[in-house]
C-alpha cells in the first residue's frame, strides 16, 4: 500500500492485471492534486506504468488553471486540497464545470471520514482511504474512467442542426431499435407504480439513464433523483451514506448526517452495482424495503421514508445466490419488475444515432457542427463494443479531442486502431439441421415477421432442450447476453 509519505508496501499489479485493465480503457490523461509529494510521485509511477499521462501539482491555483485550460479524464484530489479550495473556488465544482466534465477521486484518511462522505455527495466518483493500496488506486481510476454522466446539462444545439434530429425518450434515452422501443413501452407501464425495479445489463449500457427515465416518466419526477454507486464506497461509509448517522456514532462522525434515503424523500433512489454489497448490508436493505423505515447509524428511532428504489447490476445474481454471496429474498424483493437492457452489439442500428448524438453535444460546446465520415460510421457499426454505449461515447470524445476532427468531420483515421480495423460482425454459427427444423407455412400463410418470431421460439426451445434447461449455457450457445436470453424466454412463454 501507499503510506501518506508515499512509500509502496505492496507490489505493483501483475502484468495480467495490467492487461485486463488496458483491454477496457484507452490511455488517460490524469491530474493528481496532492500536498504529499511522495504520494504523488508513487501514484504517478503507478499510472505511468499503465501507459497513462500524468501531471501532479500541490498548488491550488495551478490545479484550477489546468482544469480550465486542458482536457483531463480523471482528477485525483486529496481531502486537504479540496477542503482548502472551498474558500475561493471548489475544485470538485471546477472539475464538474470543465468543458468536458472530469470525474474526481478523493483521497482521504479514515480520520477525514466526513470529508470523504461530503465529497461523494458533492459529486466525487469515489473515495480512496489512505494509506492507499495500488489495487484500490487502479480500481478508483477504472471507476472514474467508466463513470456515466447521466445528468449532464444539455448544451444548446447549433442553429444548423434541426432540433428533431435526435429524439431523446423520457428526456435521456436515445435509440430506435425494436428492443429499445419495447423498453420504452415497459417504462411507460411501470412508471407510475411504486414497484421496485431491477435493471440488468452489461457494464456501459446506461443503466443509470434508464433509472432516470423511469423517474422522469413517473409522478415522482418533480422530486429528487439520487444515485449512488454501491461498489464505490467501503461498507461502513455505504451504510452511513444510505441511512445517515448520528454525531459520535463512530470515529470521525463529528456531526449528524442525513442519509440518501432521506435526501430522496418523495423521489427515487438509484442503487447501482447492487450485487457488490455485503450480506449484512443486504439484510439491512431488505428490512428497509419491507418496512419502508430506516435507522441512522448510531440511532434507535426508526424513520419512515417514501422513496422508490431502482437497483442495477451487471452481475449474474442467480449465480451469486447459488454461491452464497447474495440473498434470495432480497433478489425477489428487488426484481419485482426487471428490465433487461440489451448490449449495444445487439442494436447496431442505433450506433450511428448515438454517435451523432454525442457529436451534437460536443458541437454545442465547441460552437461548430461535427459529423461522421461514412468510413468512420461503417467502422463504428462493425465493431462489437464490449464497453457498450459508454465505450462509444468515450471513443467519440477521444476522436474529436485527440484526432482534431479536421474540418469538424471525424474520419476513419481519428478512431482507435482496434475499432478502425474491426471486421464485419461474424455470421451466427450454423445450428444442427435436426435441431433447427424450420416451421412449415404450408396451409397457414403468415407475415415474414410472424414467421421469424415462430422460428426464434422454435430455436430457443431446442437450445434449452440441448442444454437441459441451463439458461446460462443456452445464452452462450445462442451468442447473446444472459439478460437478452432471459428477455427472449419471457417473450416466447406459452
Phi-psi region of 256 (alpha: psi -120 to 50; beta: other; left: phi over 0): beta
* Cα 337 from Cα 197, distance rounded (Å): 5
Does residue 269 register a pLDDT over 90? yes
Task: Write down which residue in 307, 341, 375 finishes a domain.
Answer: 341
**Region of poorest pLDDT, from 250-264, 293-307, 420-434, 477-491:** 420-434
Task: Write down which residue in 341, 374, 397 finishes a domain.
Answer: 341
Residues 295 and 194 in one domain: yes
Does residue 199 register a pLDDT over 50? yes
Does residue 339 register a pLDDT over 50? yes
Question: What's the average model confidence in pLDDT over 194-200?
Answer: 94
Short-list 228, 246, 224, CA closest to 285: 228
Query: Which pLDDT belongs to residue 405?
Result: 55
In a domain, 437, yes or no: no
- CA dihedral sign of residues 384, 389, 390, 395: positive
Q: Is residue 83 classed as helix, strand or coil in its secondary structure?
A: helix
Question: What's the average model confidence in pLDDT over 132-138?
Answer: 83
**Region of poorest pLDDT, from 30-44, 246-260, 338-352, 439-453:** 439-453
Query: Which pLDDT belongs to residue 386?
Result: 93
Q: Of the segments 154-168, 278-292, 406-420, which one has the largest average pLDDT value?
A: 278-292
Residues 20 and 128 in one domain: yes
Query: Which pLDDT belongs to residue 9?
Result: 39
In a domain, 483, yes or no: no
C-alpha cell recorded at residue 166: 435526435
In a domain, 212, yes or no: yes
Residues with Cβ within 8 Å of 426's Cβ and at least 6 positions away in sequence, in order, are: none
Does residue 18 register a pLDDT over 50? no
**Region of poorest pLDDT, from 104-108, 120-124, 355-359, 365-369:** 365-369
Confidence band (pLDDT; 50, 70, 90) for 8? very low
Phi/psi for 227 (5° steps) reads -115, 140
CATH code of the domain containing 226: 3.40.50.300
Does residue 23 register a pLDDT over 90? no
270 versus 247: which is more confidently predicted?
270
* Cα 182 from Cα 178, distance rounded (Å): 6
451 versus 141: which is more confidently predicted?
141
* Cα 9 from Cα 111, distance rounded (Å): 21
CATH code of the domain containing 90: 3.40.50.2300
Query: Which pLDDT belongs to residue 479?
Result: 74
Query: Which pLDDT belongs to residue 445?
Result: 56
Query: Which pLDDT belongs to residue 365?
Result: 58
Residue 399: cis peptide before it, omega within 30 degrees of 0: no
C-alpha cell recorded at residue 394: 468515450
* Cα 40 from Cα 32, distance rounded (Å): 7
C-alpha cell recorded at residue 35: 500536498
Question: What's the average model confidence in pLDDT over 222-236?
Answer: 88
* Cα 249 from Cα 121, distance rounded (Å): 20
Does residue 467 register a pLDDT over 90? no
Number of domains, the chain: 2
β pairing state of 303-304 and 293-294? antiparallel
Question: What's the average model confidence in pLDDT over 386-390?
Answer: 94
Q: Produce one character per residue of 69-103: b if its CB has 16 or more CB atoms within 10 Å, e if not.
A: eeebbbbbbbbbbbbebeeeebbbebbbebeeebb
Confidence band (pLDDT; 50, 70, 90) for 144? confident
Phi/psi for 236 (5° steps) reads -65, -40
99 versus 274: which is more confidently predicted?
274
Share of the chain above pLDDT 90, in %: 34
Residues 227 and 289 in one domain: yes
| Domain extent for 89 | 15-145
In a domain, 403, yes or no: no
In a domain, 32, yes or no: yes
Residues 199 and 336 in one domain: yes
Q: What is the pTM of this model?
A: 0.56
Does residue 490 register a pLDDT over 50? yes
Residues 310 and 187 in one domain: yes
Residues 119 and 236 in one domain: no
Does residue 389 register a pLDDT over 60? yes
Q: Is residue 197 classed as helix, strand or coil in its secondary structure?
A: strand
Confidence band (pLDDT; 50, 70, 90) for 159? very low
Query: Which pLDDT belongs to residue 449?
Result: 66
In a domain, 409, yes or no: no
In a domain, 265, yes or no: yes
Q: Is residue 364 classed as helix, strand or coil in its secondary structure?
A: helix
**Region of poorest pLDDT, from 104-113, 145-154, 182-191, 376-385:** 145-154
Query: Which pLDDT belongs to residue 160?
Result: 34
In a domain, 214, yes or no: yes
Query: Which pLDDT belongs to residue 323?
Result: 93
Q: Of the segments 87-101, 304-318, 361-375, which one has the largest average pLDDT value?
A: 304-318
β pairing state of 409-410 and 371-372? parallel
Residues 19 and 110 in one domain: yes
Question: What's the average model confidence in pLDDT over 136-151?
Answer: 70
Residues 128 and 246 in one domain: no
Residues 215 and 122 in one domain: no
Residues 250 and 205 sit within 8 Å (Cβ to Cβ): no
β-bridge mates for residue 78, sequence order = 107
480 versus 411: which is more confidently predicted?
411
Short-list 342, 409, 355, CA closest to 382: 355
Residues 199 and 326 in one domain: yes
Residues 23 and 110 in one domain: yes
Please, what is the Cα angle at 154 between 152 and 155, to 5 degrees?
Answer: 120
Question: What's the average model confidence in pLDDT over 198-203?
Answer: 95
Residues 215 and 116 in one domain: no
Task: Write down which residue in 121, 145, 169 finishes a domain.
Answer: 145
Residue 408: exposure state from Cβ atoms within 10 A (0-12, 13-18, ≥19): middle
* Cα 472 from Cα 482, distance rounded (Å): 6
Amino acid at each position: 500500500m501507499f503510506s501518506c509519505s508515499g512509500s509502496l508496501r505492496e507490489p505493483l499489479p501483475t502484468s495480467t492485471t495490467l492487461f485486463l485493465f488496458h483491454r477496457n480503457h484507452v490511455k488517460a490523461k490524469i491530474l493528481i492534486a496532492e500536498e504529499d509529494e511522495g504520494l504523488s510521485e508513487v501514484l504517478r509511477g503507478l499510472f505511468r506504468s499503465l501507459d497513462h499521462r500524468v501531471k501532479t501539482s500541490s498548488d491550488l491555483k495551478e490545479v484550477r488553471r489546468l482544469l480550465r485550460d486542458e482536457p483531463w479524464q480523471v482528477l485525483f484530489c486529496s481531502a486537504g486540497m479540496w477542503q482548502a479550495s472551498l474558500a475561493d473556488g471548489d475544485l470538485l465544482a471546477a472539475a464538474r464545470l470543465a468543458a468536458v466534465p472530469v470525474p474526481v477521486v478523493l483521497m482521504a484518511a479514515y480520520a477525514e471520514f466526513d470529508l470523504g462522505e461530503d465529497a461523494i455527495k458533492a459529486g466525487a466518483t469515489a473515495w480512496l482511504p489512505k494509506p492507499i493500496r495500488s489495487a484500490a488506486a487502479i480500481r478508483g481510476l477504472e471507476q472514474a474512467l467508466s463513470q456515466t454522466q447521466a445528468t449532464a446539462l444539455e448544451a444548446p444545439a447549433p442553429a444548423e442542426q434541426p432540433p428533431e434530429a435526435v429524439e431523446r425518450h423520457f428526456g435521456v434515452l436515445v435509440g430506435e431499435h425494436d428492443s429499445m422501443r419495447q423498453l420504452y413501452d415497459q417504462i411507460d407501464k411501470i412508471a407510475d407504480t411504486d414497484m421496485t425495479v431491477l435493471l440488468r445489463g452489461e457494464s456501459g449500457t446506461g443503466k443509470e439513464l434508464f433509472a432516470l427515465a423511469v423517474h422522469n416518466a413517473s409522478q415522482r419526477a418533480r422530486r429528487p433523483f439520487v444515485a449512488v454507486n454501491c461498489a464505490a464506497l467501503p461498507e461502513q461509509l455505504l451504510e452511513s451514506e444510505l441511512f445517515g448517522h448520528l454525531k459520535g456514532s463512530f470515529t470521525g462522525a463529528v456531526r449528524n448526517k442525513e442519509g440518501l434515503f432521506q435526501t430522496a424523500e418523495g423521489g427515487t433512489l438509484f442503487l447501482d452495482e447492487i450485487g457488490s454489497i455485503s450480506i449484512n448490508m443486504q439484510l439491512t436493505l431488505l428490512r428497509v424495503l419491507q418496512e419502508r423505515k430506516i435507522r441512522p447509524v448510531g440511532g434507535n428511532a426508526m424513520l419512515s421514508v417514501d422513496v422508490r428504489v431502482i437497483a442495477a447490476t451487471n452481475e449474474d445474481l442467480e449465480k451469486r445466490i447459488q454461491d452464497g454471496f447474495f440473498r434470495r429474498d432480497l433478489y425477489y424483493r428487488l426484481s419485482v419488475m426487471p428490465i433487461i437492457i440489451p448490449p449495444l452489439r445487439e442494436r447496431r442500428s442505433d450506433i450511428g444515432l448515438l454517435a451523432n448524438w454525442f457529436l451534437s453535444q460536443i458541437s454545442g460546446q465547441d460552437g461548430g457542427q461535427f459529423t461522421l465520415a461514412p468510413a468512420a460510421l461503417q467502422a463504428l457499426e462493425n465493431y462489437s463494443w464490449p464497453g457498450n454505449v459508454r465505450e462509444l461515447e468515450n471513443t467519440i470524445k477521444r476522436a474529436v479531442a485527440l484526432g482534431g476532427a479536421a474540418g469538424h468531420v471525424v474520419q476513419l483515421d481519428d478512431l482507435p486502431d482496434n475499432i478502425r480495423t474491426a471486421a464485419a460482425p461474424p455470421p451466427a454459427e450454423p445450428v444442427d439441421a435436426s435441431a433447427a427444423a424450420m416451421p412449415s407455412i404450408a396451409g397457414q400463410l403468415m407475415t415474414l415477421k410472424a414467421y421469424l418470431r415462430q422460428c426464434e421460439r422454435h430455436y430457443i426451445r431446442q437450445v434449452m432442450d440441448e442444454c437441459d434447461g441451463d439458461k446460462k449455457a443456452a445464452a452462450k450457445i445462442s451468442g447473446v447476453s444472459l439478460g437478452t436470453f432471459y428477455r427472449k424466454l419471457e417473450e416466447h412463454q406459452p
